[in-house]
A and B are shown apart, each in its own frame.
Chain A
Amino acid sequence: MPTLIDRNGPRQDHWSCFQDAQAGAAPPAPGAQLILSLAQWKLHAQALLAAGARLGICLEPAEGPEEIAGLLDRVELLAVRFPAFTDGRGYSSARLLRQRYGWTGELRAVGDVLRDQMFYLARCGFDTFDLADGESVQAALAAFGDFTETYQAAADRGPLFRRRAQPTAPVASR
């Protein structure tokens, strides 16, 4: 079973992935928390929302944040899937969601999520991490501290040179 963590430790996962087989079955209990693929969203979101479910969307690497920009006020969670940790498209998706589309809710990394990428994932704006099978929670948590500084801007902070120039002033992040 994958383990869900945030920066502080393991987290209870209240969300489950919507299964296509659920579509024809009984409506979900009010308040059920379901993560849908983009394809599932298009087919079932309306009915599920009407039934009182709380919804999230999981993007595949090839699905751009542009495609869900208009849906953000109707979802409570966004996830981006990494089919392999070497597929880096999800990093761009995360930054765009955070920095261009203003998503402030939970942004979850799912799939081949490994400790060695924790630092980069967090910098790009992910705040929960569905660790791949066999990954150590403790090691993953430690990996957030792999580096004490960062040169370039990302979703978490501006570039080092702006922080050097104005150590206390907040930096508008774009």
Chain B
Amino acid sequence: MYIYDEIDQALVDERVAQFRDQTQRFLTGQLSEDNFRPLRLQNGLYIQKHAPMLRVAIPYGLLASRQLRKLSAIASKYDRGYGHFSTRQNIQFNWPALERVPDILAELATVQMHAIQTSGNCIRNITTDQFAGVAPDEVTNPLVWAELMRQWSTFHPEFAFLPRKFKIAISGSLQDRAAVLVHDIGLLAVTGETGETGFRVIVGGGLGRTPMVGHVINEFVAWPHLLTYLEAILRVYNRHGRRDNKYKARIKILVKDRTPAVFAQEVQAEWEHLRDGTSTVTAEELERIRGRFTRPAYRTLPGTDAYIDTMRAGQPAFARWLERNVHAHRVPGYSCVTLSLKKTGVPPGDVTAEQMQGIADLADEYSFGELRVTHEQNLVFADVETRRLHSLWQAVRELGLATPNIGLLTNIISCPGGDFCSLANAVSIPVADAITRRFDDLDYLYDIGEIDVNISGCINACGHHHVGHIGILGVDKAGEEWYQITVGGRQGNDAKIGRIIGRSVARNEVAEVVSRLIDVYLERRDEAHERFIDVVDRLGLEPFKERVYAHLD
């Protein structure tokens, strides 16, 4: 965890006071709805269908057990006893009362949390790899950079009223697990020719109404220049991004209109004025930030564990969990563990207040009191002793968080959808539920193998449907809910936008459509390890289209 110093704490406290005053003025009629809206959004507060929705920042997905306990207490005291983890590593409460939001923020501030810039047309929470700092393949620990950028972007006076929202993701590994190609700015750590750390800068990716994979505008920005280079990008965007049409206001449209090459030149020209200036990052500052992160006190352990191997051999259910939910760690004798928030019958990403308490206790007992939130809406214990995996598995099972489905079909990414969100055209969670129920058989799920199914209730694409191997998008047709199906999207280093396979289908047909897509895959795959997405690449969409629409018509 990054531990606040006095200044970090003072800024968060002052923000609470500022927002309390703004809310008070709104409630007493001194601040109009129109003028209050941008202010409350920059504190994560939406006015939703049933009640306000409060989005609390979990910077770069890192959470301490005491913070999770506070979130649990807030869920019980101010909400209906649960929270929803979003695809941008934040948590959302769906039922707080507007007038109590300042109190919630005050409570959050006591555990070094806030809702600053979790919405609005500003720089949002900076996201990263859930295995940051422990992944074996890392060039640099992205947490330190993400915190550096968190501070730089917090209350940035020039970039508080951008044309549209602005999302930055950073990957410290060559293997991208932070979806850097589909962010307004994606940063991929690379090692330069002289061994120096730097970042490949990708701009103009994003999902939503106009999905696009971002463009590399600079292959290598050496680390000291990170902030000045970001500042140059943001300034070009702030000055020239479209403000006349909110659907064309994201930076991706500016990059497309200018062409990536011309945009890159404009950034370069702006950067020439800023480079080597006062915002140039210093080694001292990096060290200072690194020093404020707690470090797990790892023990010296053997790399293999005979006890776990025995348990794996004897217990197929445990073996499955190890295969799907346990991941490599850079320190011998340690593992990373994913707690699945994708159990059949539970909305993806939802956690109850009781589960939060239980998870916090387990984090203390097994993982140095910390956990991470993933952009796939699961939780991760990043530092678990491998020899203790079996006892952790049993404890996690009791909490209902041991579904061994990470990377499999039922690990569905989904937005809250029309049940909660006023933007949505259609529901998401009942669709996810119908699919999950249909694929509830674990043997079948394992036979199907790795596949991403993503669901968004509207074109804003909070469920990242464009980059699902199978994407499902809720659309409104004359007041009825319909679902558009895309196939072939993917995240990661070869990110691609999925293609629409044909006309939209009714809500009660979606699970059947997914079944048919899977049937085609199972029939046509060459061998068990050829994944769904590989078969789509090899065969194209035709056989899938044919099967889906043959009988539905």
| Chain A residues in the interface with B (C-beta under 8 A) | 64, 85-89, 91-92, 95, 100, 114, 116-117, 119-121, 123-124, 146-154, 158-162, 164-165, 171-174
Specify the chain B residue showing the minimal Cβ separation from A61.
B243
Q: 14 A-B residue contacts at CB 8 Å?
A: A86-B161, A88-B159, A88-B238, A89-B239, A89-B243, A91-B238, A116-B39, A117-B160, A119-B157, A120-B155, A148-B11, A153-B278, A154-B158, A160-B7
Taken together as a complex, chains A and B put the C-alpha atoms of A150 and B284 apart, in Å, by 18
For B156, list chain A residues within 8 Å (CB).
152
Instruction: List 12 other contacts, CB 8 Å, given A87-B243, A88-B158, A154-B158.
Output: A85-B35, A85-B161, A91-B238, A92-B238, A114-B35, A116-B22, A117-B160, A147-B155, A152-B154, A158-B279, A161-B281, A173-B278
For B273, list chain A residues within 8 Å (CB).
100, 174
Contact B158 A95 (CB under 8 A): yes
Taken together as a complex, chains A and B put the C-alpha atoms of A95 and B153 apart, in Å, by 16
For A159, list chain B residues within 8 Å (CB).
152, 227, 278-279
For A88, list chain B residues within 8 Å (CB).
121, 158-163, 238
Give the shortest distance, in Å, between A136 (CB) and chain B (any CB): 9
Taken together as a complex, chains A and B put the C-alpha atoms of A123 and B39 apart, in Å, by 18
Specify the chain A residue showing the minimal Cβ separation from B36.
A116
Known contacts A91-B157, A92-B238; A149/B277 CB under 8 A: no
For A161, list chain B residues within 8 Å (CB).
281-282, 284-285, 288
Going nearest first, the 3 A-B pairs with the smallest beta carbon separation are: A88-B161, A174-B277, A123-B157
For B285, list chain A residues within 8 Å (CB).
161, 164-165
Give the shortest distance, in Å, between B21 (CB) and chain A (any CB): 9
Taken together as a complex, chains A and B put the C-alpha atoms of A150 and B151 apart, in Å, by 9
Known contacts A100-B273, A148-B14; A158/B278 CB under 8 A: yes
Taken together as a complex, chains A and B put the C-alpha atoms of A161 and B163 apart, in Å, by 29
Taken together as a complex, chains A and B put the C-alpha atoms of A161 and B284 apart, in Å, by 9
By secondary structure, the A interface counts as loop
For A149, list chain B residues within 8 Å (CB).
7, 10-11
Taken together as a complex, chains A and B put the C-alpha atoms of A148 and B121 apart, in Å, by 24
Asked if B395 is at the interface (CB within 8 A of a chain A CB), the reply is no
Specify the chain B residue showing the minimal Cβ separation from A162.
B278
For A172, list chain B residues within 8 Å (CB).
277-278
> How many inter-chain residue pairs (CB < 8 Å) link A and B?
108
Contact B11 A124 (CB under 8 A): no
Give the shortest distance, in Å, between A81 (CB) and chain B (any CB): 14
Q: CB-defined interface of B141-182 with A at 8 Å, one 1/0 digit per residue?
A: 000000000011111111111110000000000000000000
Within 8 A of A (CB), among B233-278: 235, 238-239, 243, 273-274, 277-278
Asked if B18 is at the interface (CB within 8 A of a chain A CB), the reply is yes
Contact B121 A86 (CB under 8 A): yes
Contact B239 A64 (CB under 8 A): yes
Taken together as a complex, chains A and B put the C-alpha atoms of A161 and B155 apart, in Å, by 15
Asked if B38 is at the interface (CB within 8 A of a chain A CB), the reply is yes
The listed residue (A116, A151, A153, A165) touching B155 by CB distance below 8 A is A151
Give the shortest distance, in Å, between B401 (CB) and chain A (any CB): 36
Taken together as a complex, chains A and B put the C-alpha atoms of A159 and B148 apart, in Å, by 11
Contact A120 B160 (CB under 8 A): yes
Give the shortest distance, in Å, between B151 (CB) and chain A (any CB): 4
For B282, list chain A residues within 8 Å (CB).
161-162, 165
For A148, list chain B residues within 8 Å (CB).
10-11, 14
For A154, list chain B residues within 8 Å (CB).
157-158
Taken together as a complex, chains A and B put the C-alpha atoms of A67 and B281 apart, in Å, by 32
Contact B155 A171 (CB under 8 A): no
Give the shortest distance, in Å, between A89 (CB) and chain B (any CB): 6
The listed residue (A89, A116, A160) touching B151 by CB distance below 8 A is A160
For A85, list chain B residues within 8 Å (CB).
35, 38, 161
For A64, list chain B residues within 8 Å (CB).
239
Q: CB-defined interface of B64-105 with A at 8 Å, one 1/0 digit per residue?
A: 000000000000000000000000000000000000000000
Give the shortest distance, in Å, between B217 (CB) and chain A (any CB): 19
Q: CB-defined interface of B276-298 with A at 8 Å, one 1/0 digit per residue?
A: 01110110110010000000000
Give the shortest distance, in Å, between B114 (CB) and chain A (any CB): 13
Give the shortest distance, in Å, between A53 (CB) and chain B (any CB): 31
For B38, list chain A residues within 8 Å (CB).
85-86
Specify the chain B residue showing the minimal Cβ separation from A172.
B278
Give the shortest distance, in Å, between A143 (CB) and chain B (any CB): 8
Q: CB-defined interface of B200-224 with A at 8 Å, one 1/0 digit per residue?
A: 0000000000000000000000000
Contact B274 A147 (CB under 8 A): no
The listed residue (A92, A117, A147) touching B14 by CB distance below 8 A is A147
* Residue of A92, A121, A146, A171 with most partner-chain B CB within 10 A: A92
Taken together as a complex, chains A and B put the C-alpha atoms of A119 and B278 apart, in Å, by 21
Known contacts A87-B243, A100-B273; A152/B14 CB under 8 A: no
For A173, list chain B residues within 8 Å (CB).
278
Taken together as a complex, chains A and B put the C-alpha atoms of A100 and B11 apart, in Å, by 29
For B278, list chain A residues within 8 Å (CB).
153, 158-159, 162, 171-174
Specify the chain B residue showing the minimal Cβ separation from A173.
B278
Give the shortest distance, in Å, between A149 (CB) and chain B (any CB): 5
For B155, list chain A residues within 8 Å (CB).
119-120, 147, 150-151
* Residue of B38, B239, B273 with most partner-chain A CB within 10 A: B239
Known contacts A88-B238, A174-B277; A151/B152 CB under 8 A: yes
For B7, list chain A residues within 8 Å (CB).
149, 160
Specify the chain B residue showing the minimal Cβ separation from A64.
B239
Contact A146 B14 (CB under 8 A): yes
Taken together as a complex, chains A and B put the C-alpha atoms of A152 and B278 apart, in Å, by 10
Taken together as a complex, chains A and B put the C-alpha atoms of A123 and B7 apart, in Å, by 18
For A89, list chain B residues within 8 Å (CB).
238-239, 243
Contact A147 B39 (CB under 8 A): no
For A153, list chain B residues within 8 Å (CB).
277-279
Taken together as a complex, chains A and B put the C-alpha atoms of A129 and B14 apart, in Å, by 23
For B163, list chain A residues within 8 Å (CB).
88
Taken together as a complex, chains A and B put the C-alpha atoms of A146 and B116 apart, in Å, by 15
Q: CB-defined interface of B22-48 with A at 8 Å, one 1/0 digit per residue?
A: 100000000000010011000000000
Contact B274 A174 (CB under 8 A): yes
Taken together as a complex, chains A and B put the C-alpha atoms of A149 and B288 apart, in Å, by 18
Taken together as a complex, chains A and B put the C-alpha atoms of A92 and B154 apart, in Å, by 17
